[in-house]
Structure 1
Amino acid sequence: MSGRLPGVSHDPDPVSPANPAAEHYAYRVRRTPAELTLIWRGGEGDGPDEFAVDGSGRLLTFRETAAARKYCERAGLALAHEDESEDTAALDLDPAAEWAAHGGPVAEGLLLDAWNLFTDLAQALPDGPPLPPRDPVQDSAYEKFFGLAALDPDGGDGAWDQRETESVREVLNAGLRLWETALADAVIQ
Protein backbone atom coordinates (compact mmCIF):
# COMPACT_ATOMS: atom_id res chain seq x y z
CA MET A 1 0.00 0.00 0.00
CA SER A 2 1.34 3.41 -0.90
CA GLY A 3 0.17 5.23 2.19
CA ARG A 4 -1.88 7.62 0.11
CA LEU A 5 -5.32 8.16 1.53
CA PRO A 6 -7.90 6.35 -0.61
CA GLY A 7 -10.29 8.66 -2.39
CA VAL A 8 -8.07 11.72 -1.94
CA SER A 9 -6.38 13.58 -4.74
CA HIS A 10 -2.80 13.86 -3.58
CA ASP A 11 -1.90 16.95 -5.49
CA PRO A 12 -0.40 19.56 -3.20
CA ASP A 13 -3.87 21.12 -2.92
CA PRO A 14 -6.46 18.37 -3.48
CA VAL A 15 -9.99 19.36 -4.41
CA SER A 16 -12.09 16.28 -5.27
CA PRO A 17 -12.13 13.40 -2.77
CA ALA A 18 -14.16 10.28 -3.58
CA ASN A 19 -14.62 9.35 0.09
CA PRO A 20 -15.10 12.58 2.07
CA ALA A 21 -17.04 10.89 4.88
CA ALA A 22 -14.08 8.79 6.06
CA GLU A 23 -12.87 10.16 9.37
CA HIS A 24 -9.40 11.62 9.41
CA TYR A 25 -7.61 12.77 12.54
CA ALA A 26 -5.09 15.42 13.39
CA TYR A 27 -2.11 13.50 14.77
CA ARG A 28 0.36 15.74 16.59
CA VAL A 29 3.97 14.64 16.98
CA ARG A 30 6.75 16.39 18.90
CA ARG A 31 10.43 15.76 18.34
CA THR A 32 12.77 18.51 19.42
CA PRO A 33 12.88 21.15 18.03
CA ALA A 34 9.51 20.89 16.24
CA GLU A 35 5.92 19.93 16.89
CA LEU A 36 3.95 19.08 13.77
CA THR A 37 0.49 17.84 12.91
CA LEU A 38 -0.09 15.01 10.45
CA ILE A 39 -3.37 13.79 8.94
CA TRP A 40 -4.07 10.17 9.91
CA ARG A 41 -6.83 7.76 9.00
CA GLY A 42 -7.45 4.29 10.33
CA GLY A 43 -7.37 1.51 7.77
CA GLU A 44 -10.62 0.14 6.43
CA GLY A 45 -11.22 -3.53 7.23
CA ASP A 46 -7.81 -5.19 7.39
CA GLY A 47 -6.16 -2.31 5.55
CA PRO A 48 -3.28 -0.42 7.15
CA ASP A 49 -3.64 2.90 8.89
CA GLU A 50 -2.42 5.80 6.76
CA PHE A 51 -0.90 9.26 6.86
CA ALA A 52 -1.56 11.81 4.14
CA VAL A 53 1.19 12.33 1.57
CA ASP A 54 1.30 14.55 -1.47
CA GLY A 55 1.43 13.39 -5.10
CA SER A 56 5.18 12.95 -4.84
CA GLY A 57 4.88 10.68 -1.80
CA ARG A 58 6.08 13.31 0.67
CA LEU A 59 4.52 13.42 4.12
CA LEU A 60 2.08 16.29 4.59
CA THR A 61 2.81 18.10 7.85
CA PHE A 62 1.35 21.21 9.40
CA ARG A 63 2.79 23.58 11.96
CA GLU A 64 -0.61 23.88 13.62
CA THR A 65 -3.73 21.75 13.84
CA ALA A 66 -5.77 24.65 12.45
CA ALA A 67 -3.74 24.49 9.22
CA ALA A 68 -4.45 20.73 8.94
CA ARG A 69 -8.14 21.45 9.49
CA LYS A 70 -8.15 24.08 6.70
CA TYR A 71 -6.34 21.66 4.39
CA CYS A 72 -8.99 19.00 5.06
CA GLU A 73 -11.79 21.49 4.47
CA ARG A 74 -10.29 22.44 1.07
CA ALA A 75 -9.88 18.75 0.25
CA GLY A 76 -13.42 17.91 1.33
CA LEU A 77 -12.18 15.52 4.03
CA ALA A 78 -13.92 14.94 7.33
CA LEU A 79 -11.44 15.78 10.08
CA ALA A 80 -12.83 14.39 13.31
CA HIS A 81 -13.04 16.46 16.47
CA GLU A 82 -11.79 14.22 19.27
CA ASP A 83 -12.54 16.98 21.71
CA GLU A 84 -13.30 20.66 21.57
CA SER A 85 -9.67 21.65 22.12
CA GLU A 86 -7.20 22.00 19.27
CA ASP A 87 -4.49 21.65 21.90
CA THR A 88 -4.63 17.90 22.53
CA ALA A 89 -1.38 16.36 23.65
CA ALA A 90 1.23 15.52 21.06
CA LEU A 91 3.11 12.25 20.95
CA ASP A 92 6.52 13.24 22.32
CA LEU A 93 9.20 11.19 20.58
CA ASP A 94 12.06 12.59 22.69
CA PRO A 95 11.52 10.21 25.67
CA ALA A 96 11.15 7.26 23.27
CA ALA A 97 14.41 8.23 21.58
CA GLU A 98 16.15 8.59 24.95
CA TRP A 99 14.91 5.17 26.08
CA ALA A 100 15.93 3.54 22.78
CA ALA A 101 19.43 5.00 23.09
CA HIS A 102 20.09 4.72 26.82
CA GLY A 103 17.25 2.99 28.64
CA GLY A 104 15.82 4.51 31.80
CA PRO A 105 12.29 5.21 32.94
CA VAL A 106 9.62 5.77 30.32
CA ALA A 107 5.90 5.07 30.02
CA GLU A 108 5.17 1.85 28.14
CA GLY A 109 2.23 3.56 26.45
CA LEU A 110 4.57 6.14 24.94
CA LEU A 111 6.76 3.39 23.46
CA LEU A 112 3.69 1.62 22.07
CA ASP A 113 2.40 4.86 20.53
CA ALA A 114 5.81 5.53 18.95
CA TRP A 115 5.96 1.96 17.59
CA ASN A 116 2.49 2.35 16.06
CA LEU A 117 3.35 5.77 14.59
CA PHE A 118 6.43 4.33 12.92
CA THR A 119 4.53 1.34 11.57
CA ASP A 120 1.91 3.63 10.01
CA LEU A 121 4.60 5.98 8.73
CA ALA A 122 6.43 3.08 7.06
CA GLN A 123 3.17 2.25 5.23
CA ALA A 124 2.84 5.85 4.05
CA LEU A 125 6.49 6.14 3.00
CA PRO A 126 7.52 2.79 1.48
CA ASP A 127 10.63 4.35 -0.06
CA GLY A 128 11.95 5.53 3.31
CA PRO A 129 14.35 3.69 5.61
CA PRO A 130 12.65 0.38 6.44
CA LEU A 131 11.60 -0.89 9.82
CA PRO A 132 13.07 -4.25 10.82
CA PRO A 133 11.05 -7.14 9.39
CA ARG A 134 8.50 -8.61 11.79
CA ASP A 135 9.70 -11.74 13.55
CA PRO A 136 8.52 -13.82 16.54
CA VAL A 137 10.67 -11.87 19.03
CA GLN A 138 9.22 -8.58 17.83
CA ASP A 139 5.68 -10.01 17.89
CA SER A 140 6.17 -11.23 21.47
CA ALA A 141 7.54 -7.85 22.57
CA TYR A 142 4.59 -6.06 20.96
CA GLU A 143 2.04 -8.32 22.66
CA LYS A 144 3.64 -7.69 26.05
CA PHE A 145 2.81 -3.99 25.79
CA PHE A 146 -0.78 -4.94 26.54
CA GLY A 147 0.05 -6.78 29.75
CA LEU A 148 1.32 -3.51 31.26
CA ALA A 149 4.44 -5.17 32.69
CA ALA A 150 6.81 -5.11 29.71
CA LEU A 151 9.26 -2.77 31.45
CA ASP A 152 8.69 -4.11 34.97
CA PRO A 153 11.74 -6.09 36.14
CA ASP A 154 9.36 -7.98 38.45
CA GLY A 155 6.83 -8.56 35.65
CA GLY A 156 7.66 -12.24 35.25
CA ASP A 157 6.55 -13.67 31.91
CA GLY A 158 4.88 -10.35 31.09
CA ALA A 159 8.20 -8.47 31.12
CA TRP A 160 10.47 -8.16 28.12
CA ASP A 161 13.52 -10.36 28.12
CA GLN A 162 16.80 -9.00 26.76
CA ARG A 163 16.07 -10.07 23.17
CA GLU A 164 12.63 -8.44 23.24
CA THR A 165 14.02 -5.24 24.74
CA GLU A 166 16.65 -5.05 22.01
CA SER A 167 14.00 -5.76 19.39
CA VAL A 168 11.87 -2.84 20.63
CA ARG A 169 14.95 -0.58 20.62
CA GLU A 170 15.71 -1.67 17.06
CA VAL A 171 12.16 -0.82 15.91
CA LEU A 172 12.22 2.55 17.67
CA ASN A 173 15.64 3.53 16.34
CA ALA A 174 14.65 2.54 12.79
CA GLY A 175 11.40 4.46 13.22
CA LEU A 176 13.23 7.55 14.40
CA ARG A 177 15.45 7.38 11.31
CA LEU A 178 12.32 7.10 9.17
CA TRP A 179 10.79 10.10 10.96
CA GLU A 180 13.88 12.22 10.38
CA THR A 181 14.03 11.20 6.71
CA ALA A 182 10.32 11.96 6.30
CA LEU A 183 10.72 15.42 7.82
CA ALA A 184 13.73 16.24 5.67
CA ASP A 185 11.51 15.83 2.60
CA ALA A 186 8.10 16.72 4.10
CA VAL A 187 5.67 19.27 2.80
CA ILE A 188 5.28 21.60 5.78
CA GLN A 189 2.31 23.96 5.69
Structure 2
Amino acid sequence: MRRKVPLGAVLEAWNFFEDLARGLDAVHRLPQQGAVHSSAYEKLLGGEFAAWSPDEQRAVLELITAGVELWNSFPVIANPCSVIVSDGELGNPRVS
Protein backbone atom coordinates (compact mmCIF):
# COMPACT_ATOMS: atom_id res chain seq x y z
CA MET A 1 0.00 0.00 0.00
CA ARG A 2 1.37 3.40 -0.98
CA ARG A 3 0.97 6.38 1.30
CA LYS A 4 0.51 9.96 0.21
CA VAL A 5 3.33 12.23 1.29
CA PRO A 6 2.89 16.01 1.53
CA LEU A 7 4.44 17.72 -1.49
CA GLY A 8 6.36 20.12 0.77
CA ALA A 9 8.09 17.21 2.50
CA VAL A 10 9.07 15.69 -0.85
CA LEU A 11 10.46 19.05 -2.01
CA GLU A 12 12.47 19.41 1.21
CA ALA A 13 13.84 15.88 0.81
CA TRP A 14 14.77 16.57 -2.83
CA ASN A 15 16.64 19.75 -1.85
CA PHE A 16 18.32 18.03 1.10
CA PHE A 17 19.59 15.14 -0.99
CA GLU A 18 20.93 17.49 -3.68
CA ASP A 19 22.73 19.55 -1.01
CA LEU A 20 24.05 16.38 0.63
CA ALA A 21 25.36 15.06 -2.68
CA ARG A 22 27.11 18.37 -3.43
CA GLY A 23 28.58 18.52 0.08
CA LEU A 24 29.95 14.98 -0.22
CA ASP A 25 31.16 15.51 -3.79
CA ALA A 26 28.81 12.70 -4.80
CA VAL A 27 26.45 14.41 -7.26
CA HIS A 28 27.20 11.57 -9.68
CA ARG A 29 25.29 9.24 -7.33
CA LEU A 30 22.01 11.05 -8.02
CA PRO A 31 20.13 10.56 -11.30
CA GLN A 32 21.00 12.84 -14.22
CA GLN A 33 18.30 15.47 -14.27
CA GLY A 34 16.52 16.39 -17.46
CA ALA A 35 13.26 17.98 -18.55
CA VAL A 36 11.08 15.47 -16.71
CA HIS A 37 12.91 16.20 -13.43
CA SER A 38 12.50 19.94 -14.00
CA SER A 39 8.79 19.49 -14.63
CA ALA A 40 8.37 17.40 -11.47
CA TYR A 41 10.39 19.87 -9.40
CA GLU A 42 8.27 22.78 -10.64
CA LYS A 43 5.12 20.91 -9.63
CA LEU A 44 6.58 20.29 -6.18
CA LEU A 45 7.65 23.92 -5.87
CA GLY A 46 4.23 25.16 -6.88
CA GLY A 47 2.43 22.69 -4.63
CA GLU A 48 0.54 21.36 -7.64
CA PHE A 49 -1.73 18.44 -6.97
CA ALA A 50 -2.57 18.28 -10.68
CA ALA A 51 -2.09 15.08 -12.61
CA TRP A 52 1.48 13.89 -12.60
CA SER A 53 2.76 11.92 -15.55
CA PRO A 54 4.18 8.46 -14.85
CA ASP A 55 7.59 9.79 -15.94
CA GLU A 56 7.40 12.63 -13.40
CA GLN A 57 6.40 10.23 -10.64
CA ARG A 58 9.24 7.91 -11.59
CA ALA A 59 11.74 10.81 -11.66
CA VAL A 60 10.82 11.88 -8.12
CA LEU A 61 10.91 8.32 -6.79
CA GLU A 62 14.26 7.71 -8.50
CA LEU A 63 15.84 10.85 -7.02
CA ILE A 64 14.51 10.26 -3.50
CA THR A 65 15.56 6.59 -3.60
CA ALA A 66 19.08 7.54 -4.74
CA GLY A 67 19.23 10.19 -2.01
CA VAL A 68 18.29 7.70 0.70
CA GLU A 69 20.90 5.26 -0.63
CA LEU A 70 23.50 8.06 -0.57
CA TRP A 71 22.55 8.97 3.01
CA ASN A 72 22.77 5.34 4.13
CA SER A 73 26.17 4.83 2.50
CA PHE A 74 28.01 7.41 4.63
CA PRO A 75 28.59 6.91 8.35
CA VAL A 76 27.63 9.87 10.52
CA ILE A 77 30.40 11.11 12.82
CA ALA A 78 29.66 14.22 14.85
CA ASN A 79 32.70 16.43 15.46
CA PRO A 80 35.27 13.62 15.68
CA CYS A 81 38.14 16.03 16.40
CA SER A 82 36.56 18.22 19.05
CA VAL A 83 35.48 17.72 22.61
CA ILE A 84 33.23 20.04 24.60
CA VAL A 85 34.79 20.75 27.98
CA SER A 86 33.19 22.63 30.85
CA ASP A 87 35.44 25.09 32.65
CA GLY A 88 33.55 24.49 35.87
CA GLU A 89 31.13 27.37 35.41
CA LEU A 90 27.56 26.67 34.40
CA GLY A 91 26.83 27.72 30.83
CA ASN A 92 30.46 28.19 29.79
CA PRO A 93 31.36 25.15 27.70
CA ARG A 94 34.27 25.46 25.30
CA VAL A 95 35.57 23.36 22.43
CA SER A 96 39.07 22.03 22.87
> Would you say same fold, with TM above 0.5?
yes
**Aligned match of 1:187:** 77
Q: CA RMSD in A?
A: 1.9
**Aligned match of 1:117:** 16
**Aligned match of 1:170:** 62
- Equivalent-residue separation in structure 2 for 1:127 and 1:141 (angstroms): 22
CA contact (8 A) 2:29 2:66 kept: yes
- Equivalent-residue separation in structure 1 for 2:26 and 2:4 (angstroms): 33
Q: Which amino acid aligns with 2:66?
A: A
TM-score relative to the length of structure 1:
0.39
User: What SS is found at the alignment partner of 1:175?
Assistant: helix
**Aligned match of 1:14:** none
Aligned length: 79
Q: Which has the higher strand share?
A: 1
Structure 1's unaligned 5+ residue stretches are: 1-101
- Equivalent-residue separation in structure 2 for 1:115 and 1:177 (angstroms): 13
Say which one has the larger Rg. Answer: 2
Kindly state the Cα deviation for residue 129 of structure 1 after the two structures are TM-superposed. 6.7
- Equivalent-residue separation in structure 2 for 1:128 and 1:135 (angstroms): 14
Q: Is 1:137 equivalent to 2:27 in the alignment?
A: no
CA contact (8 A) 2:11 2:45 kept: no
- Equivalent-residue separation in structure 2 for 1:127 and 1:165 (angstroms): 23
Structure 1's 122 and 160: CA in aligned 2 closer, same or farther, altered over 3 A? same
CA contact (8 A) 1:137 1:167 kept: yes
Runs of 4+ in 1 over 4 A off after TM superposition: none
Structure 1's 107 and 127: CA in aligned 2 closer, same or farther, altered over 3 A? closer
Q: Which has the higher helix share?
A: 2
The 5 A counterparts of 1:1-189 are 103-127=2-26, 130-149=29-48, 152=49, 155=50, 159-182=51-74, 184=75, 186-189=76-79
Kindly state the Cα deviation for residue 147 of structure 1 after the two structures are TM-superposed. 2.5
Query: Identity rate of aligned residues, in percent?
Result: 37
